[in-house]
Structure 1
Amino acid sequence: MTATTAENPKDPAAVSGGGHPQRWLILGVICLAQLTVLLDNTVLNVAIPSLTRELHASTADIQWMINAYALVQSGLLLTAGNAADRYGRKRMLLTGLALFGIGSLAAGLAQSSAQLIAARAGMGVGGALLMTTTLAVVVQIFDDAERVKAIAIWSTVSSLGFAAGPLLGGFMLDHFWWGAIFLINIPVALLGLTAVAVLVPESRHRQGDRPDLVGAVLSTIGMTALVYAIINGPEHGWLSGHVLVSASIGLLAMGVFAHWELRVPYPMLDLHFFRDQRFVGAVAGAILVAFGMTGSLFLLTQHLQFVLGYDPLDAGLRTAPLALTVVVLNLSGVGPRLLAKLGTPVTIALGMALVSGGLASIALLGSGGYAGMLLGLVVMGAGVSLSMPAMANAIMSAIPPEKAGVGAGINGTLAEFGNGLGVAVLGAVLNARFAALASVAAASLPAALAAADGPAERARIADAFAAGLETSQLVGAVAVLAGGLLAALLLRRAERGAPERGGLPEEGVPDGSVSERAASERAASDRG
């Protein structure tokens, strides 16, 4: 019996014979909460030209508007998962929805790039609470037989966010000012608050870990500094003092974070999980799928608007096939059926190969018009529908059930870190290639076009930007394909190895490890 069940007899995890009797209705409620966060991840992309014009935002400003949210959320996801396990998952869901709604209001009323970046960072706090608790509740209320299908539906919401975000954003920008794209979050948050309060049962782990605030600060500093270096590399030079200092701070912070996590009694991220090759393989795949998909969407919306001349709503409509493909395939149950037939390694490898092929198709065929992009988007969608639920299930299966919040935090951290890294790295490749080909010092394509001397120069600058987009997409394709092969190899080796123990190793940890002693004490307490 888990500590969760012993602590709370009404916990959904305690219900046998298929899980909580209202599990599918509850899944719908928490997916609504999840959608609130995911809409904001993609709605900003179609507003990039508007923000560039009305707030005079540079490319780096735009990247920080996107990454400020992702980085804060990434830094807090693991701590939020610990808090949910200890203090209650329903309570954290409600808190996250409230904070996210307040942050959306502040973002919608922002008057400058700096204010919007700050508001986005504040929204990341609420988003961290939401992302961890939704998946943790799914794991708690569904048994093993239905969990893969439930996670596939949960993953489908991510794709709905990708589809609905650009469409809603384009519609709002056609009729209102750019701040309205954030204000649409508020009614969704209010509806989610009401539904969660009425339907979602409370569950928590009585001996839940204390929040690791030092770990949260260190990880946030480290990831922020590293991505800052990536964003500013093309502008200041990769070997400039400005970039090297930022990268050094990031690496140092992440090194101290790893040192701290190995010694603190209640770590935010128990690094012994990385001894499970199944866990490591799923981690690698999750980061790189998010890297390719989010980075590609960031580039694609600019291509559709800046190069092909579509307005925001048309651009949003033309990105929708990616998400709609995922929705159709996941709701039809194709992914779970293939996973049962092919196994986790082959399913993930196949899915990531399709994502890579879709990115390459967009890069090589997209310059000829939208038809090439459409093919790439559909192929990418098929790959995401196969790989993402399989990876989320692999990660959650490698972690003890009573640590569901921590497991969800790890899964969310990987996705958000991949999202931020994709925008930063592929955006940096775009900027570097564009600057080299166009031979201009402008901070964005509109600024370069405005300063151009005549139609011939404007055409040359637009061609340079299109070439930079193609290079960036190909870099993303190579990274995703490499990640798929690595993930499949590690997962296959894990399946052929010793029986999986799930969680911390039973042997092989050096004597005196504080983390293992704490884990043993918690296990003994659970058995008591």
Structure 2
Amino acid sequence: MLDSNIVAVALPTIARSLNATFTDIEWVVSAYILTFAALLLAAGSYADRHGRKRAMLIGLGIFIIASALCGFATSAHVLNWARALQGIGGSLLLTSALAVINHAFVGVDRAKAYAFWGTCLGIAITSGPIVGGVITDWLGWRWAFLINLPVGFILFIAAAKIIDESRDPDAKSLDIAGILTFSCALFLLIWALIDGNNVGWATTVIIWRLVGAALLFIAFAVVEVRQKRPMVDFSLFRNRTFLGATFAMLGYAAGAQVLVFFLPLFLQIAYGLAPSSAGFAMLPFALPMFLTPLLGARLAGRYSGRTLLTLGLVVSVFGDVLLSTLAASEASYAFLVIGMLVAGAGAGLLNGETAKVMQGAVPAQRAGMGSGLTATVRFVGLLLGVVSLGALLSKEVSRHFIASSLSLGLDPNLAASFAKRVAAGDFGSLMIQLPTSLHEPVQAAATKSFVSGFAAASALAAITAATAGILTYVLVRRADTAPAVGGHESAVAAME
């Protein structure tokens, strides 16, 4: 989590350094989440069968090597392939870490361990933008990746010495057919969504990617249904509460958490902030994500999971609408803080509650599968949010900038070429190609274009969260998610 947030703040600097387009910097985020999300289920199965400690050490090793490749990347393509390798290591790390905690602790101690683990994620969310901004300003964007080398090495030694090995004696062999069909389907879908704006949505190559993704998803479902112990138990989706919680998780990821990746870009471009300043400026969004779960734990003792999920999504809708409206009106940062506080509070309410309700709808004997499925839904939703909102942002930026630049007398082909740089936040390379008299008006047009794109993306995030909120309220049963007797005290104790 820390690594992904550091990268989010560094994206405009990476774009300028590597002469990357908006599509390229989308892949900096998406390549990591794609391999991460696609392999979570497989990584969990590998850890159960071959050893959780072994999986963690392999994951750390891959993550360290990939971080070095990212830090020394000489082009956007090399960086994105290295990010994909990071995602493979990350999937092994997450699933093995949760399994190690589950094995090492029992009862109240386990609840405290998970609460502490969740707090660490909250700290990463809060400090990531600040650390990333400071590193980018003082050391350069490459150290956002290279810092993982000494940290990863220390963690590798600690894990090797401290953690006990554990396995699931009943674990089955890896579901190779399921892994391949799901991973390839997700890749084709994301590939189509990211390239759709540049290539054209009606072009043959995009249509074939979408058709291929659909066929592979169907093949994945067929493969899983025929297995005695499937990687994904599709019968769970006949449970209304589980299905509703799935929509809530998708709404949280694509309508709330996704802002972690777009806000740093917006703050740097709209307000001209340096990366370190943008990191501190993210605090009104990040702090509620860290603090609100404590309030959620108290509310969980009084209100049903359906109520809390719906409330979190409603708050997220208001936050997204505020951000969209404030951006479109070019409001000052002081007013934007209000939108970030509301959006962060909604994300914080949903962060733990979505996982709790989904896990609660899974039979106890399939808890491992449920955990992997919950994480997969979350990160697939985040991935779809990044590419969908990114596609809309890029399209709106291009439309607005081309119209503005043509009115300034720029050549249409040059304006279209510049639009791609504007969407990536790289204005500096534009100025050197223009006469001095056009610097100020083109800079203003570029800034307004990006602001317009961010406003449109925030509006789409609001629509996504609202749709998920309606489906959640309709599908999730109050009785299935009723607060447990004594839930207030136990939830607060676990958080503390």
TM range (shorter): 0.7 to 0.9
Q: Distance in 2 between matches of 1:147 and 1:355?
A: 30
Question: How far does residue 289 in structure 1 lie from its aligned partner after superposition?
Answer: 0.9
**Residues 471 and 335 of structure 1: CA distance in aligned 2, closer, same or farther (over 3 Å):** same
Q: Contact conserved, 1:283 with 1:414, CA < 8 A, in 2?
A: yes
Q: 1:343 aligns with which of 304, 311, 327?
A: 304
SS in 1 for 2:477: helix
Pairs within 5 Å for 1:372-451: 372-439=335-402, 440-442=415-417, 443-445=420-422, 446=426, 449-450=430-431
Q: 1:106 aligns with which of 69, 72, 75?
A: 69
What corresponds to 2:295 in structure 1? 334
Pairs within 5 Å for 1:163-202: 163-202=126-165
Q: Distance in 2 between matches of 1:401 and 1:452?
A: 64
What corresponds to 2:170 in structure 1? 207
What corresponds to 1:10 in structure 2? none
Question: How far does residue 195 in structure 1 lie from its aligned partner after superposition?
Answer: 3.6
Question: How far does residue 221 in structure 1 lie from its aligned partner after superposition?
Answer: 1.2
- 1:97 pairs with 2:90: no
Q: Distance in 1 between matches of 2:467 and 2:106?
A: 33
Which amino acid in structure 2 is aligned with residue 40 of structure 1? Answer: D
**Residues 299 and 456 of structure 1: CA distance in aligned 2, closer, same or farther (over 3 Å):** same
Q: 1:472 aligns with which of 442, 446, 457?
A: 457
1:250-301 deviations in whole A, cap 9, x for unaligned?
A: 1121111111111134422121222222222222111221112343232211
* Runs (5+) with no aligned partner, structure 1: 1-37, 498-528
The range that moved more, 87-96 or 415-424, is 87-96
Q: Contact conserved, 1:278 with 1:494, CA < 8 A, in 2?
A: no
**Residues 338 and 137 of structure 1: CA distance in aligned 2, closer, same or farther (over 3 Å):** farther
Q: 1:231 aligns with which of 171, 191, 194?
A: 194
Q: Distance in 2 between matches of 1:52 and 1:496?
A: 45
What corresponds to 2:323 in structure 1? 362
Q: Distance in 1 between matches of 2:185 and 2:194?
A: 14
**Residues 370 and 156 of structure 1: CA distance in aligned 2, closer, same or farther (over 3 Å):** farther
SS in 2 for 1:340: coil
SS in 1 for 2:166: coil
- 1:276 pairs with 2:276: no
Q: 1:121 aligns with which of 70, 74, 84?
A: 84
Question: How far does residue 126 in structure 1 lie from its aligned partner after superposition?
Answer: 0.9
The range that moved more, 318-327 or 109-118, is 318-327
Q: Contact conserved, 2:52 with 2:165, CA < 8 A, in 1?
A: yes
Q: Contact conserved, 1:136 with 1:407, CA < 8 A, in 2?
A: no
Which amino acid in structure 2 is aligned with residue 355 of structure 1? Answer: S
Q: Contact conserved, 1:303 with 1:469, CA < 8 A, in 2?
A: yes
1:100-150 deviations in whole A, cap 9, x for unaligned?
A: 122111111111111111111111111111122233344555667676665
1:26-61 deviations in whole A, cap 9, x for unaligned?
A: xxxxxxxxxxxx112121111112211111111001
Quote the RMSD (CA, aligned, Å).
2.4
Which amino acid in structure 2 is aligned with residue 431 of structure 1? Answer: S
Pairs within 5 Å for 1:492-511: 492=477, 495=480
Q: Contact conserved, 1:81 with 1:407, CA < 8 A, in 2?
A: no
Q: Contact conserved, 2:126 with 2:286, CA < 8 A, in 1?
A: yes
Which amino acid in structure 1 is aligned with residue 216 of structure 2? Answer: A
TM-score scaled by length of structure 2: 0.86
TM-score scaled by length of structure 1: 0.81
SS in 2 for 1:342: coil
What corresponds to 2:45 in structure 1? 82
Percent of residue pairs bearing the same amino acid type:
33
What corresponds to 1:33 in structure 2? none
Q: Distance in 2 between matches of 1:421 and 1:205?
A: 33
Q: Contact conserved, 2:101 with 2:113, CA < 8 A, in 1?
A: yes
Q: Contact conserved, 2:185 with 2:216, CA < 8 A, in 1?
A: yes
What corresponds to 2:410 in structure 1? none
* Runs (5+) with no aligned partner, structure 2: 403-414, 483-496
Number of residue pairs matched? 458
SS in 2 for 1:341: coil
SS in 2 for 1:239: coil
Which amino acid in structure 2 is aligned with residue 183 of structure 1? Answer: L
Q: Contact conserved, 1:280 with 1:490, CA < 8 A, in 2?
A: yes
SS in 2 for 1:492: coil
Q: Distance in 2 between matches of 1:145 and 1:192?
A: 26
Question: How far does residue 402 in structure 1 lie from its aligned partner after superposition?
Answer: 4.6
